[in-house]
Each structure stands twice: as C-alpha cells, then as structure tokens.
Structure 1
C-alpha cells in the first residue's frame, strides 16, 4: 500500500484526532473539502481508512470476524439437573454469538478486530452492540436487520456442563450477499478473516470466493453438526481455507461418514479436507485434547496431538470461541500452528474456569503464563 504525501498527512491527522471530518481536515491541510473527500476515498480504497467515520487502519495485524451476534440467556442449576421439572438455580444474560464471542476474545487478546454480524432494531441489539464496543471490538460494519436480535438459551447443570440449548437466529439465518457487500473493502484489506459457520451457505461461499480472490486467509469454525453439513460442498480447492476447527461430530458431517475417535481415523478424514483446500484441520476432542493435521505447500502432511490442559469447569459456554480466537491471535503474532493450537487450548481452559462466556481478564500474558506452568508433550508423526 503506497500513499501520497498528502494521504500520509491526512492519515497522521486522523491518528491524532480520529473525530476530524473532511471540512476540518481541509482546514488543517490548507486544502479544499472536495479535494480531501477524494483523498479519503482513495485511502478507503487502499485500505488505510476503514469504515464510517474515517477509522484509520491499525498498524497491528487486523481481523474481520463474520458471523452471529445474539443475546445469551444462561440458566445454571445449583443441583444436578432433573428433566421435565423445575430446577433451582440462577440465570444470567450476556452478549453472545459465536462470531461476536470470537471477536471479543480477539479484542481482549489485543488483536484489532472488526465484527460483521446482523442485529435487530431492539433492546437486545442495543445491549449486544454496547457490550461488544466496550470490549474493544470495532462495530462500524455490524448489519441492522429487520429480524429480531438472535437469542441463545442454555441450561447448565451443577457441574457447568451443557444440558440443553435452544437458539433463535433468524437475523443470521437470513443473512444475504447483498447485506455483506458493504463490508467488501473491509474484508479485502484484512490480514485474516474468521468465518462463523452460522453464516448461510450462499454468503459463506461468496466470502470464501472474495477472500481467495484477494489472498486473505480464512479460519472457518463449523459451529455445529447442522451448520457443518453444507461445508461438504462449499469447501473446494478453489476456495482455500487456512484452518478449519471442527469437533469430531462436525468433522463426520463434513466428510459425510462417521469418524472414529482414533488418531488414524481422524487423520484420514483430515486428509480428505486437505484435498479440498484446507491447510490446517484442527479437530477438538474435549478432554482428549485436540489433533492438528497440517499440509505443507509441498503436499507433506504432519499430525500433532495436543493433550488438554486440566481445568476446573465452572461454565463450558464460549470455550470453543475463545479457543478459535486465541489460535488466530497466536498465528498472527508468529506462533507455529501447533503452538497456536496449544495457546488456544489454554485460553479455552481459562474460559471454562470462569462464569463468563468471554473471560474479561483474558490476555496473552495470562495464557502464556499458564502455558509455562505445564509441560506440553507433543506427539508428531508424518503419515
């Protein structure tokens, strides 16, 4: 990205005073408002300025997260949960959604992050936006939907494990390519895009095509078995994906057959996805840890087993979202994929030990400190 001398002058002004408008910039630079407007348009095209309000692109590597944003309503039973009857406990409402949670975790880890997600014109939408903005996420490209803001109702037992959940996400389910077009330049100038599997098949394919055309790497979180199934046809070598992060059931749904809980079976399934353009397949296995299968540009495949760190479980909600976010953060700071996966697992362990969906004190220093406390034996092989 090459800037003219006047463009650099305008960027410097906006870094110092982000609220300047075109008229004020013209006055400071001794130019005209019309000329400044042309410069601002060029800066937006070049990716130096993002979104409305002339937001200057951060010097640090930035991420765009495209996915769901909703209000989480969690009911936590104080005793072992009994079905078909009332259970004593407590309820909590908090901003949620896979994409939104990933974005907040990234922001708390210090990665400049934009969220592209639909919210309704309602009180829940206002609450979700306020909480997300307060966490440091840039929300200029959040989409206002005619549908109500999504909700996610989860019932947790006394151990913090999920008993049942119901999601209502019409706003995300109805997301269209037309709604995403306003974020085309934002995506095109990102260092990395995270795609939440809640995005419907057609706009998801459009985003993958756009990212492939402009050379922006994509990390794709399948989210659930139902949302993973369309990926069987969406994933192709023409739409390369940097990393896919399924659990075992999601992996089975994508490859179209049951995958056994063995290293050999998971590795075979991962190789199918490598053939479809996925560079890293990171399979989450719960208490068993995870398996990372990576294919080099030369076609060589390596498999890394990562044991799960021990953790006291308070609430499992949001663990996978923090895992993905921390993995992305670590990749962008230069960690190897295996080290980034270890960083992600530790972030998830810290998250389940907290009652919050997104741990408010999450930071690279905290995660790295916990990693230093444990040994990380890794079993690598080249099948």
Structure 2
C-alpha cells in the first residue's frame, strides 16, 4: 500500500444558486449562497483522505484570514502530511454558479496557484516513492505541473493528472502521466476529437498510460492503449454536480495507491462521485469516511 500525494490549489468556494447564467451586462439575483474550503487540489485531497488512505497534501495559500480558515478545516481531516505554502498573494477563491438542474459553472481567481514555482513543485514531488500516487490538476503552471510529474514518475510513483481548469496546452505533459482524467468537454478541447472514445485513444497516443473520460450522467469510459471499457453511472437524482469530478479523481488516486486494479478503482470512484452529486456544494458534499466504507462493502459484496 502506498500513499497519495496531492499537489494543487486550495481556496474558498463561494456558491451562488441561480435560475440561469447571467447574460452579458446583466445583474441576476440568486436565491442562496454558501461558503466552504475548496479548490480542485483541496477537494481531491479531502476525497482521498476520507477513503482512509494516507494522504499528503501540499497547496499554496496566501498570508490572510482566508488561509487560516482553510488550514483549520484541513487539520480536522487527519492528513498524513499537510503543508500549506504561504505565498505573497491573496488566497485563491472560486465562484460556483449552480443551476436548478444541478449543473454548474465556475469562475476562479488563482494567483497563489500561479505563483507556485517549478522548483517548489520539484521539491514536493521528490518526496514520492514507489507505490505512491502523485495527483496534480491544471491550476498550477505548466512548468510546475510538468516538474512534479517528471520527478514523481522518476521516483517510481504513479502519476495522475486531471488538467482542469484548462488554461495552458496540456498535451506536452501527457507523456509523463500514468493516468489522465478529463471530462468530455475537456477531452474534446485537448484532443480535437468530439467522440470520447477517440479522445481517450488520442490521450494514450500522446504517451499517457491510462485515459479516463467522464461523461456525467452517462458514466465514463477508459482506455489503456488496447482495451476500451465503459462504466454506467449510478442511477441518481442529481442536485449539484460541482464536486463530482474532484471526488472521482481523489477516490481514484486513493484506490490505485491501495493497490486496486484500474477497473475496480474506477468503479469505486464513480460510485463515490454519485454520492457527491446528490448533495449541494463541493466540500460539504464529499463522501465521509463511513459513507465510503459502506460503498466499499457494497462493492465487495457484489463481486
């Protein structure tokens, strides 16, 4: 059994429920608001640690009260290691606009994540070892992300890359990735292929070992360069899909570090994401330890 090392962003999620997205120049009133720790890195790290696996989380934050709030929440999660790198910037945040059908749009401020250097990322990844899973997202710069992937892979860790949000060309770093997770829209943008199966094949053609394309209510598909698998989504009534991708990635990383086969890790990640979709918010909707233990028990009973 290895560890999960997550390097990514951490901030605050400000949630606003809206009847629709505002038009250009329009002020639109929402009917409720929320506030919680967030960021793709943070959510994935929390989803992973709630599986019971040892997780080490590194993230850049500011020197402000928001960072103190984030740190206090994370200390309650029981990480094997937690290092919040204090940067000379305001802490990052995201505005989550949630629509009545549970779909969402997100706008983020990421000056702390952008300021995290390649040298810092290399130092973090140098702590990886054989059997560990190193998980990174798209919030950091290309240079920092690439440095982390290369160093972790060189040390025998499995590298998992979830490139959202897409703000730089991710194709050159795919060759350093053992596992790549994208949703269908991201996969089309990165690969130029509108068919998810073709997009997954393109990702592997670029050097990735295992591609996962998530399809929302249609489940997901995987490709390992030889075999294409499709996984149906659990039948649920979605309330808010905000944190589903992060739950999926965090649980997938944890299950791979636990030594589970790809198909089993993906199935558990999909089931956990289904739990998140049935609740509002992102951080508050991540499955807790008891819920995940029940998922594992149900999965193993159904073998």
Name the TM-score, length of structure 2 as normaliser. 0.89
1: CA distance between counterparts of 2:245 and 2:82? 25
Q: Which residue of 1 aligns with 2:13?
A: 72
**Which deviations, in whole Å up to 9, do the C-alpha atoms of 1:291-342 show, x marking residues without a partner?**
11013xxxxx011011111122222111100011111222233332122111
Structure 1 counterpart of 2:288, from 338, 341, 361 = 361
Any gaps of 5 or more consecutive residues in structure 1? Answer: 1-59, 296-300, 377-383
2: CA distance between counterparts of 1:117 and 1:354? 26
1: CA distance between counterparts of 2:64 and 2:298? 40
Point out the more displaced range, 124-133 or 331-340.
331-340
Question: Is contact 1:346–1:370 with CA below 8 Å preserved after alignment?
Answer: no
Is residue 2:187 matched to residue 1:251? yes
1: CA distance between counterparts of 2:83 and 2:169? 26
Structure 2 counterpart of 1:131, from 73, 77, 94 = 73
Is residue 2:218 matched to residue 1:260? no
Q: Which structure has the larger Rg?
A: 1
Cα distance change on mapping 1:215 and 1:234 into 2, 3 Å:
same
2: CA distance between counterparts of 1:242 and 1:357? 26
Q: Which residue of 2 aligns with 1:305?
A: 230
2: CA distance between counterparts of 1:349 and 1:318? 10
Counterparts of 1:274-353 in structure 2, within 5 Å, are: 274-295=204-225, 301-353=226-278
2: CA distance between counterparts of 1:198 and 1:303? 29
State the 1:85 CA deviation: 4.0
Q: Which residue of 2 aligns with 1:96?
A: 38
Cα distance change on mapping 1:222 and 1:69 into 2, 3 Å:
same
Root-mean-square deviation (CA), in Å? 2.3
Counterparts of 1:115-264 in structure 2, within 5 Å, are: 115-138=57-80, 140-162=82-104, 164-188=105-129, 191-224=132-165, 226-227=166-167, 229-236=168-175, 239=176, 241-255=177-191, 257=192, 259-261=193-195
Name the TM-score, length of structure 1 as normaliser. 0.72
Question: Is contact 1:313–1:353 with CA below 8 Å preserved after alignment?
Answer: yes
State the 1:74 CA deviation: 0.4
**Which deviations, in whole Å up to 9, do the C-alpha atoms of 1:270-292 show, x marking residues without a partner?**
23322332111010111111111
2: CA distance between counterparts of 1:172 and 1:89? 31
Aligned pair count?
297
Greater relative contact order (Cα 8 A, min sep 6): structure 1 or 2? 2
**Which deviations, in whole Å up to 9, do the C-alpha atoms of 1:59-85 show, x marking residues without a partner?**
x521110111110000124xx337334
State the 1:140 CA deviation: 3.8
Question: Is contact 1:64–1:190 with CA below 8 Å preserved after alignment?
Answer: no
Any gaps of 5 or more consecutive residues in structure 2? Answer: none
